[in-house]
Chain A
Amino acid sequence: MNLWPWILIACGLAYLTKLSGYFVPAKLLRSPRMMRVAGTMTIGLLASLTVVNAVASGQSLAFDARLGALAAGAIALWLRAPFLVVVIVGSAAAAGLRLLGWR
């Protein structure tokens, strides 16, 4: 599948979204309801992406080493580790669990 068109459209949309804030009359965007939807959607999307990457395998749910990465990442965040450390911990947990035989 050639992803180039979708990548470029997504990049264009990202820029136009940013730019719209500078040109759309403030009244339109400043509606507290629009701000709230943009914010709650951000939380929802990131939560969903976390879950999909942790347990989805195509159209089925799989419980594998990625769950260990989720737990390890959460512990690292709880201990206030910086982002990059959290990512490395997640990767190490998944790789380590696979070495131990848990796919």
Chain B
Amino acid sequence: MKLLESPAVKVGVSISIATGLYGISFGALASASGFSFWQTMAFSLLMFSGGSQFAFIGVVAGGGSGIAAMTAAALLGLRNGIYGMQMNALLRPVGWLKYPQAHITIDESTATASGQSDSDEQRRGFWTAGLGIFVLWNIFTAVGALAGDALGDPKQWGLDGAAVAAFLGLLWPRLKGREPWAIAAAAALATIVAVPFVPPGVPILVAAVVAGAIGWFSHGRSDEGMEPDVDPYPHGHSSADATSRERNAE
């Protein structure tokens, strides 16, 4: 079958499996943090952006308010707006197609499409990764939510430790070079200083403002922090690498 011979589809399928699987950790953490099964599913079906989903439940698990959780999730989703603009320019969807395409515009689908040079391949890569992750992410969220309910005391299983490792795992691929490390360190410091003085959840927003100000007032890569959690092209054959190198050279 022709579709399966497409390199973009192959990449899209493997990235779907790798990313979709860790929906299980989101489901388990959400239910351990007190979210009902359908609340947990609402995140994966409607919000569908891993970082924002983890952020919302992470703020609530730390005792933060609903509004603080919402704000952290919304700020963490801002980069998806940039991806939307890039995918609009690259794939040129017309008419109603923009609406479903927007929903699956995330780190991984954008990275899979940007890694291809042929325009049909870019489109195939985007939709394979986007739809594949959407389906698997939701299935494994449900599995995780049901398993989390059955576990009992989440602390006994170290699920609070799982959350720490999950956030570090989301941060890690974005720490390439000295600048992102410096931004991360500044944000971490701002968080620790803020914790005793403001309500739970707010330190995260303080850190967001600090990191945003660094981006606003300093000069550097314009695509800092724009890396997928699972890199579809770990061996760097992609034309996206070439494009970002060109951008950096400008």
Q: Is B163 an interface residue (CB 8 A)?
A: yes
* B241 CB to nearest chain A CB (Å): 17
Number of A-B residue pairs having CB atoms within 8 Å of each other in the complex: 349
Contact A13 B162 (CB under 8 A): no
* B127 CB to nearest chain A CB (Å): 15
* List of B residues within 8 angstroms of A98 by Cβ: 155-156, 158
A39, A52, A91: which contacts B223 (Cβ < 8 A)? A39
* Those of A57-93 within 8 Å (CB) of chain B: 58-61, 65-66, 68-70, 72-74, 76-77, 82-84, 86-93
Contact A90 B166 (CB under 8 A): yes
* List of B residues within 8 angstroms of A49 by Cβ: 54-55, 58-59, 72, 167, 204
Known: A3-B60, A14-B77, A40-B225. A45 touches B162 (CB 8 A): no
Known: A10-B56, A17-B74, A20-B81. A43 touches B224 (CB 8 A): yes
Known: A15-B46, A21-B87. A10 touches B69 (CB 8 A): yes
* B115 CB to nearest chain A CB (Å): 18
Report the bound CA distance from A60 to B212 in whole Å: 25
* B129 CB to nearest chain A CB (Å): 15
* List of A residues within 8 angstroms of B51 by Cβ: 42, 45-46
* Those of B187-224 within 8 Å (CB) of chain A: 187-188, 190-192, 195-200, 203-204, 206-208, 210-212, 214-216, 220-224
Contact B98 A22 (CB under 8 A): yes
Q: Which of the segments B1-9, B20-28, B118-126, B131-139 contacts the partner chain?
A: B20-28
B73, B164, B208, B216: which contacts A14 (Cβ < 8 A)? B73
What mask results when residues 6 to 47 of chain A are scored 1 for a CB within 8 Å of chain B, else 0? Answer: 111111011101111111101001101111111111111111
State the interface size on chain B (CB cutoff 8 A).
110
Q: Is B31 an interface residue (CB 8 A)?
A: no
The residues of A with any CB-CB pair to B shorter than 8 Å are 1, 3-11, 13-15, 17-24, 26, 29-30, 32-56, 58-61, 65-66, 68-70, 72-74, 76-77, 82-84, 86-96, 98
Could you list 15 A-B pairs, sorted by A, with CB under 8 Å?
Answer: A13-B74, A19-B84, A20-B81, A21-B102, A36-B220, A37-B78, A41-B215, A41-B225, A45-B204, A45-B211, A56-B195, A65-B161, A69-B161, A73-B164, A90-B164
Q: Apart from A10-B56, A18-B80, A32-B222, what 5 extra A-B contacts exist at CB < 8 Å? A: A3-B66, A8-B42, A48-B190, A52-B58, A94-B160
Q: State the 5 A-B residue pairs at the shortest beta-carbon distance, nearest first.
A: A21-B84, A44-B211, A90-B165, A94-B161, A69-B161
